Structure 1
Amino acid sequence: MGSKLSGKDLIKLGFPQNNSINIALGQIQRYRKREKKERILQEAQEVLVDPAKFAGHGVWGKLAEGLIKPVEVRRHELLNQRVPFSIFGEDLIDERAKFQLYDALKLPVSVAGALMPDAHAGYGLPIGGVLATDQAVIPYGVGVDIGCRMSMSIFDLPASFIKGKDAMLLKILAEQTKFGMYETHQNKADHALFSRTEFQDIPLLKSLLGKAYKQLGTSGGGNHFVEFGIVDLQETKADWKLEAGSYLAILSHSGSRGLGANIAKHYTYLAQKQCPLPKQVQHLAWLDLNTHDGQEYWMAMNLAGDYAKACHENIHQRIAKALGKRIVLTIENHHNFAWKELVGGKECIVHRKGATPADKGRLGIIPGSMTAPGYIVEGLGNAESLHSASHGAGRLFSRATAKVSFSKSDVKKALHDAQVQVIGGNLDEAPMAYKDIEKVMHVQNDLVKVLGIFRPKFVRMDK
């Protein structure tokens, strides 16, 4: 069996006595340990003879790279100087989040950075952090929930439609949405995404295909939600097919579920092995985009982002079908992702961990809390923010602090005052745990223009 294969076997084949042997054994242990030793050695021999032929291969690509141009593994230190950066709404941001950004700005690969007004401390980059790097992608600069996004679908139904329909709308949310690690839909939906070659070519993704299929159309725990509400469109676009006014809408917030979490875990491990950093910034380890692992993460990240989008589409389709109405307009955006964008005329990797893309003319959604309004926005393309804006109100209290600071009666009163009904939701998601969304929006007038305001009425969250 492959598990009994040793470095001596590879040396006998003619492998150089360097790190390529460790790479080969690691890949075999991870992906081929259940196969016969003879078959594995035969394939390894083929890689040794013509490594270029296996460039980009899911199992052998990393070994081929090690034979052609090995990845340099060396410890990196932080630079003494920070790269240029901007902070928006500095008075609204805790010091820990600022210092996390300051550390990230000293990475040897950093080019520029920004901090959004909803920022608070996280792992690696702070939530609300934006970082541009030179041909390097930081898995924890993207975050665990890859492609976490907002999606709003609007119906050509007036705000008055909801009157007297509390029970019906709550029932739709209860039956058509699933949350957390274990809830899945009984009637699974297929999607063209599952036929993507990445699910076959990248062994990690192949192992996650079943989980992705089961979790399609579901939402995570924590601050993820699906809600009915009223959207007031102050301005409209020519292709919206809606006039200014008040309409019924669905708003959802969730990401790539177990698929994204496993991708983040796997490639963060690889990044930390290849890019040792001082302890306080080890979560900022990066992958060079010109390496096998860097390219593979990039493909996996983009697949996870497309999967998150597919999840929202499925959620909205299920709700629209149950409602018996047709969606007229959908506005959506990622806020945990990395993009190739020009910064100062140079192509960089722009990480937005809890930040909304806001290049000129781009539409997006910035939510508040379960009782606070959310906003439809149009980006203004501000270069100082790296064409970014906040991804929400941002936390004022950590989850642990919120649990001991507020009671169920506090939340009940806040919901009553706002005339909002909620299924699920825990004390860590209490409305009071979040910053004032109006203050957050006020300090980013130079980043986005408000086109509409969404007010939640019926909310579903994890229990």
Structure 2
Amino acid sequence: MRQEAFKNSKVRIMPDVHLGIGCVVGFTGDLGDKVIPNVVGVDIGCGMLTVEIEDYNIDLALIDYVIHKHVPAGFNIHRRPVEMPFDLTKIKVYNRLKNIRRIESSIGTLGGGNHFIEIGKSDDGRVFLVVHTGSRNLGKQVADIYQRLAISKMKKGSVQERQRVIEQLIKDNEQEKIPEALKMLDARGGIPKSLAYLEKEDRNNYLHDMRLCQIYASANRHKIADTIIKHAQLKEIERFETIHNYIGDDNIVRKGAISAKKGEKVLIPINMRDGSLFGIGLGNPDWNYSGPHGAGRIMSRREAKRSLLVEDLKKDMKGIYTTTANISTIDESPRAYKSMAEIIDNIKDTIKVLFVIKPIYNFKSGDQD
């Protein structure tokens, strides 16, 4: 927090906190006139789309068939480009993007890792379709491009500061102090590459492209839901989104955190056995009007793969229709995450939990895209 970008920033860490690159996952804060691309992360605008559907005899085998047939997962994409939610050339760094066809063919694709599709029920019998995914390769490319720009600006700024000190001491006829002054400058410590930030026009360009990535991520989720609803002949009641990895209109960075403004509907997934928390935000300014985006890992993916057993995963998922609980998804085991009780106990000041959505169907891809 001694870094320049965090100066005068009210930082709040969410209870699902776990290690991330550059900063923890579960970070919230207003960075003022600066932006750190790496804090937002590579899956810009990732989030949950929650769709309430009518409760009738849902054919889970049919839904599983539809997803396997019509929703590419992991590294897979559509064979042909699909309709884009906006003209990709509007992206400021469009000319630096690679494999445009892949970007154009990824709307309606799930990805891998912790992304999932679930059907769940509340205690009173309401049924929900939940889709968790993000901006796919577009978000990663945009994040990487701006992070490299931030690092290059940081290096340039460091050189300029050293030159400024040298010139000032020469002007004051104190050349003998140059070595010590430079030594002190170096001792202050530079900005870590992972926390390199952008300002002014570069910041504005990043925010512009970040918001387009959010639009892309949202379109991706809606396309998946629409595909499932169409082919499985489901009837929708209503839908809403809960997103993370973005900077809101309130200028608050939410890295692995969600907005929890007063009265705002939120969905917090815990794990694929216990399901998700359905709640409403309380609008607590001391929490940066935010909440956790999930349960948070207690095991790294590597540790989970090394120590957890597929047999235990299958036991944990007993009673839930799934064809993807296997060795490729062992790192997404419920045992790799914090408990639901721990999250509920720690969010009472920011979110009112209304009910739990218990899974009756789960789909995940084992690919770490």
Contact 2:80 / 2:105 at 8 angstroms: preserved in 1?
no
Q: CA deviation at 1:297?
A: 1.0
Correspondent of 2:139 among 255, 260, 264: 260
Q: Following the alignment from structure 2 to structure 1, what is the Cα–Cα distance between the partners of residues 246 and 343?
A: 21
Name 2:12's counterpart in structure 1.
114
Question: Where in structure 2 are the equivalents of 1:326-345 lying within 5 Å?
Answer: 326-341=235-250
From 428, 431, 436, the counterpart of 2:334: 431
| 1:82-135 deviation per Cα after TM superposition (whole angstroms, max 9, x unaligned) | xxxxxxxxxxxxxxxxxxxx456x645451100111000101121011121111
**What letter corresponds to residue 427 of structure 1 in structure 2?**
I
Match of 1:174 among 41, 49, 68: 68
Residue type of the alignment partner of 1:190: E
Shift in alpha-carbon separation, 1:398–1:206, aligned structure 2, 3 A: closer
Matched to 1:419, the amino acid is I
Counterpart secondary structure, 1:180: coil
What is the correspondence of 1:62-77 to structure 2 with a 5 Å cutoff?
none
Deviation per CA, 1:345-379: give whole Å up to 9, x if none.
Answer: xxxx3111000101112222100111112012211
Cα distance, 1:184–1:196 mapped onto 2, change above 3 Å: closer
Aligned pairs for 1:9-24 within 5 A: none
Q: Is the 8 A contact 1:103 1:281 kept in 2?
A: no
Distance 1:180 1:108 in 2: 35
SS in 1 for 2:129: strand
SS in 2 for 1:275: helix
Aligned-pair Cα RMSD in Å: 2.2
Contact 1:198 / 1:299 at 8 angstroms: preserved in 2?
A: no
Specify the alignment match of 1:59 in structure 2.
Answer: none
Pairing 1:16-415 to 2, within 5 Å after superposition: 102=1, 107=5, 109-158=7-56, 161-162=57-58, 165-181=59-75, 183-186=76-79, 189-191=82-84, 193-195=85-87, 198-199=90-91, 202-204=93-95, 209-232=100-123, 245-276=124-155, 278=189, 281-288=192-199, 290-291=200-201, 293-341=202-250, 349-415=251-317
Q: Which range is displaced more, 446-455 or 430-439?
A: 446-455
What is the TM-score normalised by the length of structure 2? 0.84
Amino acid in the other structure paired with 1:194: F
How many pairs align?
A: 332
The alpha carbon displacement at 1:202 in A equals 4.1
Gaps spanning 5+ residues in structure 2: where? 159-188
Aligned counterparts of 1:421 and 1:411: Cα–Cα separation in 2: 11
Give the 3-state SS of the residue equivalent to 1:361 in structure 2. coil
Checking the alignment, whether the CA contact within 8 Å between 2:44 and 2:245 is kept in structure 1 is: yes
Shift of 1:439: 1.5
Question: Aligned partner of 1:433: which letter?
Answer: A
Q: Distance in 2 between matches of 1:208 and 1:408?
A: 36
Q: Is the 8 A contact 2:120 2:275 kept in 1?
A: no
CA apart distance, 1:139: 0.5
What percentage of residue pairs aligned between the two structures are identical? Answer: 30
Give the whole-Å Cα distance in 2 for the aligned partners of 1:173 and 1:215. 15
Instruction: Report if aligned partners of 1:130, 1:355 keep a CA contact under 8 Å in 2.
Output: yes
> Relative to 1, partners in 2 of residues 1:321 and 1:205: Cα closer, same or farther, differing over 3 Å?
farther
Structure-2 residue corresponding to 1:92: none
The answer on whether the counterparts of 1:110 and 1:131 sit within 8 Å (CA) in structure 2 is: no
Do 2:5 and 2:197's aligned partners in 1 also have CA atoms closer than 8 Å? no
Higher RCO (CA < 8 A, seq sep 6+): 2
Supply the distance in 2 between the matched residues of 1:372 and 1:280 (Cα, whole angstroms): 41
> So what's the TM-score if we normalise by structure 1?
0.67
Structure 1 residue 188, shift from structure 2 partner: 5.0
Structure 1 residue 209: Cα displacement: 4.2
